[in-house]
Structure 1
Amino acid sequence: MNQIDIAAPRTTEDAWLKAAYDVLTESGVEAVKIMPLAKRLGLTRSGFYWHFEDRDALLDAMIRHWEDKNTGNLVMQCEAFAENICEAVFNLFDCWLDDNLFDSRLDLAIRNWARNDAALQRRLNQADQRRKTAMQEMFVRFGYDPNEAEVRALTMIYTQIGYISLGVSEPPDQRFARMPDYVEVFTGHKPTRADIQRFRARHKAVDA
Protein backbone atom coordinates (compact mmCIF):
# COMPACT_ATOMS: atom_id res chain seq x y z
CA MET A 1 0.00 0.00 0.00
CA ASN A 2 1.33 3.44 -0.87
CA GLN A 3 1.89 5.74 2.05
CA ILE A 4 -0.33 8.79 2.32
CA ASP A 5 1.55 12.04 2.63
CA ILE A 6 -0.43 13.48 5.51
CA ALA A 7 1.70 16.62 5.52
CA ALA A 8 0.75 17.59 1.96
CA PRO A 9 -2.72 16.50 0.82
CA ARG A 10 -3.08 16.17 -2.96
CA THR A 11 -6.57 14.73 -3.25
CA THR A 12 -9.82 15.07 -1.36
CA GLU A 13 -9.18 11.73 0.36
CA ASP A 14 -5.81 13.00 1.53
CA ALA A 15 -7.47 16.21 2.71
CA TRP A 16 -9.86 14.25 4.95
CA LEU A 17 -6.91 12.28 6.33
CA LYS A 18 -4.88 15.44 6.94
CA ALA A 19 -7.80 17.05 8.77
CA ALA A 20 -8.35 13.90 10.84
CA TYR A 21 -4.64 13.79 11.65
CA ASP A 22 -4.68 17.41 12.83
CA VAL A 23 -7.65 16.77 15.11
CA LEU A 24 -6.24 13.48 16.40
CA THR A 25 -2.89 15.01 17.35
CA GLU A 26 -4.47 18.16 18.79
CA SER A 27 -7.48 16.79 20.67
CA GLY A 28 -7.50 12.97 20.62
CA VAL A 29 -9.52 10.38 18.76
CA GLU A 30 -12.84 11.27 20.42
CA ALA A 31 -12.77 14.59 18.57
CA VAL A 32 -12.33 12.96 15.15
CA LYS A 33 -15.91 13.15 13.84
CA ILE A 34 -17.21 13.47 10.32
CA MET A 35 -19.33 16.61 10.57
CA PRO A 36 -16.70 18.74 12.36
CA LEU A 37 -14.11 17.55 9.84
CA ALA A 38 -16.40 18.56 6.98
CA LYS A 39 -16.80 22.04 8.46
CA ARG A 40 -13.05 22.28 8.98
CA LEU A 41 -12.47 21.49 5.30
CA GLY A 42 -15.40 23.49 3.93
CA LEU A 43 -16.75 20.29 2.37
CA THR A 44 -20.05 18.45 2.67
CA ARG A 45 -20.62 15.50 4.96
CA SER A 46 -21.83 13.48 2.00
CA GLY A 47 -18.48 14.09 0.29
CA PHE A 48 -16.81 12.06 3.03
CA TYR A 49 -18.59 8.90 1.89
CA TRP A 50 -17.06 9.11 -1.59
CA HIS A 51 -13.77 8.17 0.07
CA PHE A 52 -14.54 6.27 3.28
CA GLU A 53 -17.31 3.86 4.18
CA ASP A 54 -17.65 5.32 7.66
CA ARG A 55 -15.70 6.90 10.53
CA ASP A 56 -14.11 3.55 11.41
CA ALA A 57 -12.68 3.31 7.89
CA LEU A 58 -11.12 6.75 8.28
CA LEU A 59 -9.63 5.81 11.65
CA ASP A 60 -8.25 2.57 10.23
CA ALA A 61 -6.63 4.48 7.36
CA MET A 62 -4.84 6.68 9.91
CA ILE A 63 -3.67 3.65 11.85
CA ARG A 64 -2.36 2.00 8.67
CA HIS A 65 -0.57 5.22 7.77
CA TRP A 66 1.06 5.22 11.22
CA GLU A 67 2.11 1.59 10.85
CA ASP A 68 3.56 2.16 7.38
CA LYS A 69 5.34 5.40 8.20
CA ASN A 70 6.60 5.14 11.75
CA THR A 71 7.19 1.43 12.13
CA GLY A 72 7.99 0.77 8.48
CA ASN A 73 10.59 3.54 8.26
CA LEU A 74 12.12 2.67 11.64
CA VAL A 75 12.66 -0.91 10.49
CA MET A 76 14.09 0.35 7.20
CA GLN A 77 16.58 2.57 9.04
CA CYS A 78 17.65 -0.31 11.27
CA GLU A 79 18.32 -2.43 8.18
CA ALA A 80 20.18 0.32 6.28
CA PHE A 81 23.83 -0.24 5.37
CA ALA A 82 26.32 0.74 8.07
CA GLU A 83 30.01 0.05 8.49
CA ASN A 84 29.75 -0.25 12.27
CA ILE A 85 27.18 -0.24 15.07
CA CYS A 86 27.64 3.48 15.74
CA GLU A 87 26.79 4.34 12.16
CA ALA A 88 23.83 1.95 12.35
CA VAL A 89 22.44 3.77 15.41
CA PHE A 90 23.00 7.12 13.70
CA ASN A 91 20.89 5.75 10.82
CA LEU A 92 18.14 5.03 13.34
CA PHE A 93 18.54 8.51 14.83
CA ASP A 94 17.52 9.91 11.44
CA CYS A 95 13.97 8.93 12.48
CA TRP A 96 14.08 11.30 15.44
CA LEU A 97 15.22 14.21 13.28
CA ASP A 98 13.23 13.78 10.07
CA ASP A 99 9.43 14.06 10.26
CA ASN A 100 9.23 12.45 6.82
CA LEU A 101 10.60 9.26 8.38
CA PHE A 102 8.91 9.27 11.78
CA ASP A 103 6.05 11.38 13.12
CA SER A 104 6.46 11.72 16.90
CA ARG A 105 3.16 13.57 17.36
CA LEU A 106 1.28 10.79 15.61
CA ASP A 107 3.08 8.15 17.66
CA LEU A 108 2.03 9.84 20.90
CA ALA A 109 -1.56 10.25 19.68
CA ILE A 110 -1.75 6.55 18.77
CA ARG A 111 -0.38 5.53 22.18
CA ASN A 112 -2.91 7.73 23.97
CA TRP A 113 -5.72 6.39 21.78
CA ALA A 114 -4.71 2.78 22.45
CA ARG A 115 -5.23 3.23 26.20
CA ASN A 116 -8.98 2.96 25.60
CA ASP A 117 -9.03 0.75 22.51
CA ALA A 118 -8.06 -2.88 23.03
CA ALA A 119 -7.86 -3.67 19.32
CA LEU A 120 -5.53 -0.75 18.68
CA GLN A 121 -3.46 -1.70 21.73
CA ARG A 122 -2.87 -5.10 20.14
CA ARG A 123 -1.69 -3.42 16.93
CA LEU A 124 0.52 -1.09 18.96
CA ASN A 125 2.02 -4.07 20.79
CA GLN A 126 2.73 -5.73 17.44
CA ALA A 127 4.35 -2.54 16.15
CA ASP A 128 6.51 -2.21 19.26
CA GLN A 129 7.56 -5.84 18.94
CA ARG A 130 8.47 -5.29 15.29
CA ARG A 131 10.51 -2.22 16.22
CA LYS A 132 12.27 -4.06 19.05
CA THR A 133 13.10 -7.00 16.80
CA ALA A 134 14.57 -4.68 14.15
CA MET A 135 16.73 -2.88 16.71
CA GLN A 136 17.81 -6.13 18.35
CA GLU A 137 18.76 -7.66 15.01
CA MET A 138 20.74 -4.51 14.20
CA PHE A 139 22.91 -5.11 17.28
CA VAL A 140 23.21 -8.84 16.61
CA ARG A 141 24.40 -8.02 13.09
CA PHE A 142 27.42 -6.32 14.63
CA GLY A 143 28.32 -9.15 16.98
CA TYR A 144 26.29 -8.48 20.12
CA ASP A 145 24.91 -11.38 22.12
CA PRO A 146 21.14 -11.66 21.50
CA ASN A 147 20.26 -11.05 25.16
CA GLU A 148 22.47 -7.99 25.36
CA ALA A 149 21.11 -6.81 22.01
CA GLU A 150 17.56 -7.07 23.34
CA VAL A 151 18.36 -4.98 26.43
CA ARG A 152 20.09 -2.32 24.34
CA ALA A 153 17.12 -2.25 21.95
CA LEU A 154 14.67 -1.86 24.83
CA THR A 155 16.78 0.92 26.31
CA MET A 156 16.54 2.87 23.06
CA ILE A 157 12.80 2.23 22.74
CA TYR A 158 12.02 3.32 26.29
CA THR A 159 14.22 6.39 25.93
CA GLN A 160 12.46 7.52 22.76
CA ILE A 161 8.98 6.84 24.15
CA GLY A 162 9.96 8.95 27.15
CA TYR A 163 11.19 11.74 24.88
CA ILE A 164 7.88 11.71 23.02
CA SER A 165 5.64 11.37 26.08
CA LEU A 166 7.38 14.18 27.96
CA GLY A 167 7.32 16.46 24.94
CA VAL A 168 11.04 17.14 25.27
CA SER A 169 12.09 20.12 23.18
CA GLU A 170 15.76 20.95 22.69
CA PRO A 171 17.56 23.53 20.56
CA PRO A 172 18.87 21.72 17.45
CA ASP A 173 22.52 22.46 18.29
CA GLN A 174 22.10 20.96 21.74
CA ARG A 175 20.38 17.88 20.42
CA PHE A 176 23.06 17.24 17.79
CA ALA A 177 25.79 17.78 20.38
CA ARG A 178 24.29 15.10 22.63
CA MET A 179 23.64 12.46 19.99
CA PRO A 180 27.21 11.06 19.82
CA ASP A 181 27.03 10.57 23.58
CA TYR A 182 23.69 8.80 23.23
CA VAL A 183 25.25 6.53 20.62
CA GLU A 184 28.06 5.68 23.04
CA VAL A 185 25.59 4.97 25.85
CA PHE A 186 23.40 2.76 23.64
CA THR A 187 26.24 0.84 21.95
CA GLY A 188 29.13 0.86 24.41
CA HIS A 189 31.34 2.27 21.64
CA LYS A 190 32.47 5.81 20.99
CA PRO A 191 31.58 6.92 17.45
CA THR A 192 34.46 8.05 15.28
CA ARG A 193 34.75 11.59 14.03
CA ALA A 194 33.94 10.29 10.54
CA ASP A 195 30.73 8.66 11.85
CA ILE A 196 29.68 11.92 13.46
CA GLN A 197 30.56 14.05 10.44
CA ARG A 198 28.56 11.83 8.06
CA PHE A 199 25.55 12.02 10.36
CA ARG A 200 25.74 15.78 10.80
CA ALA A 201 26.37 16.38 7.10
CA ARG A 202 23.20 14.64 5.97
CA HIS A 203 21.22 16.76 8.40
CA LYS A 204 23.10 19.90 7.34
CA ALA A 205 24.32 20.48 10.87
CA VAL A 206 27.34 22.69 11.41
CA ASP A 207 30.26 20.89 13.01
CA ALA A 208 31.04 21.99 16.53
Structure 2
Amino acid sequence: MANEKTRRRLSADDWARAALTAISEGGLPAVAVEPIAARLGATKGSFYWHFANRDALVAAALELWEREHTEAVVEHVEAEPDARAKLRRLFSDVTTGAARAPENRIEVALLATASHPLVAPTVSRITERRIAYVAALYEELGVPPGRARRQALLAFTTWLGYTQLVHATPEVLPGGAEAAAYLGFVLDEVVTPEGLPDGRPGPPPV
Protein backbone atom coordinates (compact mmCIF):
# COMPACT_ATOMS: atom_id res chain seq x y z
CA MET A 1 0.00 0.00 0.00
CA ALA A 2 2.81 2.44 0.83
CA ASN A 3 4.39 1.68 -2.53
CA GLU A 4 1.11 2.51 -4.28
CA LYS A 5 0.92 5.83 -2.43
CA THR A 6 4.47 6.65 -3.53
CA ARG A 7 3.49 5.94 -7.13
CA ARG A 8 0.49 8.22 -6.95
CA ARG A 9 2.68 11.10 -5.81
CA LEU A 10 4.30 11.21 -9.23
CA SER A 11 3.24 14.36 -11.06
CA ALA A 12 2.70 14.96 -14.75
CA ASP A 13 5.99 16.86 -14.73
CA ASP A 14 7.78 13.81 -13.32
CA TRP A 15 6.56 11.80 -16.30
CA ALA A 16 7.38 14.62 -18.71
CA ARG A 17 10.90 14.97 -17.34
CA ALA A 18 11.46 11.22 -17.62
CA ALA A 19 10.22 11.43 -21.21
CA LEU A 20 12.73 14.21 -21.94
CA THR A 21 15.49 12.04 -20.51
CA ALA A 22 14.36 9.21 -22.76
CA ILE A 23 14.42 11.57 -25.76
CA SER A 24 17.95 12.65 -24.85
CA GLU A 25 19.07 9.01 -24.77
CA GLY A 26 17.24 7.51 -27.72
CA GLY A 27 15.27 10.18 -29.55
CA LEU A 28 11.51 10.31 -29.88
CA PRO A 29 11.12 6.52 -30.37
CA ALA A 30 12.47 6.07 -26.83
CA VAL A 31 9.31 7.63 -25.38
CA ALA A 32 7.44 4.45 -24.47
CA VAL A 33 5.15 4.11 -21.50
CA GLU A 34 6.40 0.84 -20.01
CA PRO A 35 10.16 1.65 -19.99
CA ILE A 36 9.50 5.10 -18.56
CA ALA A 37 7.22 3.61 -15.92
CA ALA A 38 10.01 1.20 -15.00
CA ARG A 39 12.47 4.11 -14.79
CA LEU A 40 10.13 5.91 -12.41
CA GLY A 41 9.23 2.81 -10.43
CA ALA A 42 5.60 3.39 -11.38
CA THR A 43 2.79 1.50 -13.06
CA LYS A 44 1.00 2.11 -16.33
CA GLY A 45 -1.97 3.04 -14.17
CA SER A 46 0.02 6.00 -12.84
CA PHE A 47 0.70 7.07 -16.41
CA TYR A 48 -2.96 6.94 -17.39
CA TRP A 49 -3.84 8.97 -14.30
CA HIS A 50 -2.08 11.93 -15.97
CA PHE A 51 -2.16 11.24 -19.70
CA ALA A 52 -4.63 9.86 -22.20
CA ASN A 53 -1.92 8.37 -24.42
CA ARG A 54 1.72 8.53 -25.50
CA ASP A 55 1.13 11.60 -27.69
CA ALA A 56 -0.08 13.50 -24.64
CA LEU A 57 3.12 12.56 -22.81
CA VAL A 58 5.25 13.77 -25.74
CA ALA A 59 3.30 17.05 -25.76
CA ALA A 60 3.91 17.46 -22.01
CA ALA A 61 7.63 16.75 -22.46
CA LEU A 62 7.87 19.39 -25.19
CA GLU A 63 6.01 21.89 -23.00
CA LEU A 64 8.43 21.21 -20.15
CA TRP A 65 11.37 21.68 -22.53
CA GLU A 66 9.92 25.02 -23.61
CA ARG A 67 9.41 26.17 -20.03
CA GLU A 68 12.78 25.13 -18.66
CA HIS A 69 15.05 25.58 -21.68
CA THR A 70 13.57 28.78 -23.13
CA GLU A 71 11.21 30.71 -20.87
CA ALA A 72 13.19 30.09 -17.66
CA VAL A 73 16.39 31.08 -19.46
CA VAL A 74 14.82 34.32 -20.69
CA GLU A 75 13.53 35.08 -17.20
CA HIS A 76 17.01 34.59 -15.75
CA VAL A 77 18.65 36.75 -18.41
CA GLU A 78 16.14 39.56 -17.90
CA ALA A 79 17.68 40.22 -14.48
CA GLU A 80 20.70 41.77 -16.23
CA PRO A 81 20.79 45.58 -16.30
CA ASP A 82 20.86 46.27 -20.04
CA ALA A 83 20.55 44.64 -23.45
CA ARG A 84 24.28 44.18 -23.99
CA ALA A 85 24.67 42.44 -20.64
CA LYS A 86 21.59 40.31 -21.39
CA LEU A 87 23.04 39.17 -24.71
CA ARG A 88 26.34 38.19 -23.15
CA ARG A 89 24.69 36.44 -20.20
CA LEU A 90 22.30 34.58 -22.52
CA PHE A 91 25.01 33.29 -24.83
CA SER A 92 27.32 32.45 -21.95
CA ASP A 93 24.59 30.50 -20.13
CA VAL A 94 23.30 28.54 -23.12
CA THR A 95 26.80 27.72 -24.35
CA THR A 96 27.76 26.45 -20.91
CA GLY A 97 24.52 24.46 -20.86
CA ALA A 98 25.31 22.99 -24.27
CA ALA A 99 28.41 21.40 -22.79
CA ARG A 100 26.36 19.51 -20.21
CA ALA A 101 24.45 16.28 -20.65
CA PRO A 102 21.55 15.68 -21.00
CA GLU A 103 20.80 19.31 -21.97
CA ASN A 104 22.80 19.16 -25.20
CA ARG A 105 21.42 15.73 -26.10
CA ILE A 106 17.82 16.92 -25.71
CA GLU A 107 18.37 19.81 -28.14
CA VAL A 108 20.13 17.60 -30.67
CA ALA A 109 17.57 14.80 -30.42
CA LEU A 110 14.60 17.13 -30.85
CA LEU A 111 16.20 18.86 -33.84
CA ALA A 112 16.85 15.45 -35.39
CA THR A 113 13.11 14.72 -35.21
CA ALA A 114 11.96 18.25 -36.03
CA SER A 115 9.94 17.04 -39.02
CA HIS A 116 7.81 14.75 -36.87
CA PRO A 117 4.23 16.07 -36.70
CA LEU A 118 4.27 15.96 -32.88
CA VAL A 119 7.55 17.87 -32.66
CA ALA A 120 7.58 20.23 -35.66
CA PRO A 121 5.16 22.92 -34.38
CA THR A 122 6.93 23.17 -31.01
CA VAL A 123 10.45 23.30 -32.44
CA SER A 124 9.37 25.92 -34.99
CA ARG A 125 7.67 28.07 -32.34
CA ILE A 126 10.53 27.84 -29.86
CA THR A 127 13.17 28.56 -32.50
CA GLU A 128 11.28 31.67 -33.58
CA ARG A 129 10.78 32.70 -29.95
CA ARG A 130 14.51 32.46 -29.26
CA ILE A 131 15.58 34.31 -32.39
CA ALA A 132 12.94 37.02 -31.93
CA TYR A 133 14.02 37.56 -28.31
CA VAL A 134 17.66 37.98 -29.30
CA ALA A 135 16.70 40.27 -32.18
CA ALA A 136 14.66 42.42 -29.78
CA LEU A 137 17.74 42.79 -27.55
CA TYR A 138 19.77 44.01 -30.52
CA GLU A 139 17.01 46.47 -31.36
CA GLU A 140 17.20 47.75 -27.78
CA LEU A 141 20.81 48.56 -28.54
CA GLY A 142 19.69 50.68 -31.46
CA VAL A 143 20.39 48.16 -34.21
CA PRO A 144 17.94 48.52 -37.14
CA PRO A 145 15.38 45.67 -37.30
CA GLY A 146 16.78 44.03 -40.44
CA ARG A 147 20.33 43.89 -39.10
CA ALA A 148 19.06 42.93 -35.63
CA ARG A 149 17.37 39.87 -37.12
CA ARG A 150 20.50 38.90 -39.05
CA GLN A 151 22.67 39.40 -35.97
CA ALA A 152 20.28 37.26 -33.93
CA LEU A 153 20.43 34.50 -36.56
CA LEU A 154 24.22 34.63 -36.52
CA ALA A 155 24.33 34.30 -32.74
CA PHE A 156 21.72 31.53 -32.75
CA THR A 157 23.39 29.47 -35.47
CA THR A 158 26.76 29.87 -33.74
CA TRP A 159 25.28 28.44 -30.55
CA LEU A 160 23.49 25.68 -32.46
CA GLY A 161 26.68 24.67 -34.27
CA TYR A 162 28.53 24.60 -30.97
CA THR A 163 25.80 22.38 -29.47
CA GLN A 164 26.04 19.96 -32.39
CA LEU A 165 29.82 19.76 -32.07
CA VAL A 166 29.64 19.15 -28.32
CA HIS A 167 27.37 16.21 -29.06
CA ALA A 168 29.09 14.77 -32.14
CA THR A 169 32.80 15.67 -31.99
CA PRO A 170 33.64 17.28 -28.64
CA GLU A 171 37.34 16.61 -29.17
CA VAL A 172 37.55 19.42 -31.76
CA LEU A 173 36.44 22.02 -29.22
CA PRO A 174 38.82 23.71 -26.78
CA GLY A 175 38.74 22.58 -23.17
CA GLY A 176 39.78 23.96 -19.81
CA ALA A 177 41.04 27.53 -19.75
CA GLU A 178 41.06 27.59 -23.56
CA ALA A 179 37.30 26.96 -23.54
CA ALA A 180 36.76 30.13 -21.51
CA ALA A 181 39.01 32.07 -23.89
CA TYR A 182 37.04 30.73 -26.85
CA LEU A 183 33.74 31.78 -25.26
CA GLY A 184 35.14 35.26 -24.68
CA PHE A 185 36.21 35.38 -28.33
CA VAL A 186 32.73 34.40 -29.53
CA LEU A 187 31.08 36.93 -27.23
CA ASP A 188 33.34 39.68 -28.59
CA GLU A 189 33.30 38.69 -32.25
CA VAL A 190 29.80 37.30 -32.81
CA VAL A 191 27.41 38.18 -30.00
CA THR A 192 28.39 41.75 -29.12
CA PRO A 193 31.06 42.72 -31.65
CA GLU A 194 32.78 46.06 -31.66
CA GLY A 195 30.70 48.63 -33.50
CA LEU A 196 27.33 47.57 -32.13
CA PRO A 197 25.52 50.44 -30.47
CA ASP A 198 25.64 50.23 -26.69
CA GLY A 199 22.04 51.26 -26.12
CA ARG A 200 22.97 54.29 -24.04
CA PRO A 201 21.47 57.65 -25.01
CA GLY A 202 23.78 60.06 -26.71
CA PRO A 203 24.60 63.55 -25.44
CA PRO A 204 21.76 66.05 -25.38
CA PRO A 205 21.50 68.33 -28.41
CA VAL A 206 23.19 71.67 -28.11
TM exceeding 0.5 = yes
Deviation of the 1:183 alpha carbon? 1.5
**Partner Cα distance (2:118, 2:47) in 1:** 24
The residue type paired with residue 31 of structure 2 is V
Deviation of the 1:65 alpha carbon? 0.6
Q: Which is further off, 130-139 or 103-112? A: 103-112
Alpha-carbon deviations, 1:109-133, whole Å to 9, x = none?
Answer: 2212223x13521221121111111
Partner of 2:140: 141
Partner of 2:108: 108
Partner of 1:75: 74
> TM-score of the superposition, structure 2-length normalised?
0.74
The residue type paired with residue 182 of structure 1 is V
The residue type paired with residue 106 of structure 2 is L
Change (3 A) 1:127 1:84: closer
Partner of 2:89: 91
**Partner Cα distance (2:150, 2:117) in 1:** 27
- 5+ residue gaps, structure 1: 1-10, 191-208
* Correspondence list, 1:37-52, <5 A: 37-52=36-51
**Partner Cα distance (1:110, 1:184) in 2:** 29
> TM-score of the superposition, structure 1-length normalised?
0.73
Tell me if structure 1 keeps the 8 A contact 2:16–2:64: no
Partner of 1:173: 177
Give the root-mean-square deviation of aligned CA atoms: 2.6
Higher relative contact order (CA 8 A, sep 6+): 2
- 5+ residue gaps, structure 2: 1-8, 196-206
Q: How many residues align?
A: 177
Alpha-carbon deviations, 1:65-123, whole Å to 9, x = none?
Answer: 111122213433554433462x23221122332589x93322222212223x1352122
Tell me if structure 2 keeps the 8 A contact 1:70–1:107: no
Matched-pair identity in %: 27
The residue type paired with residue 183 of structure 1 is L
- Which entry has the higher C-alpha Rg, 1 or 2? 2
Partner of 1:32: 31
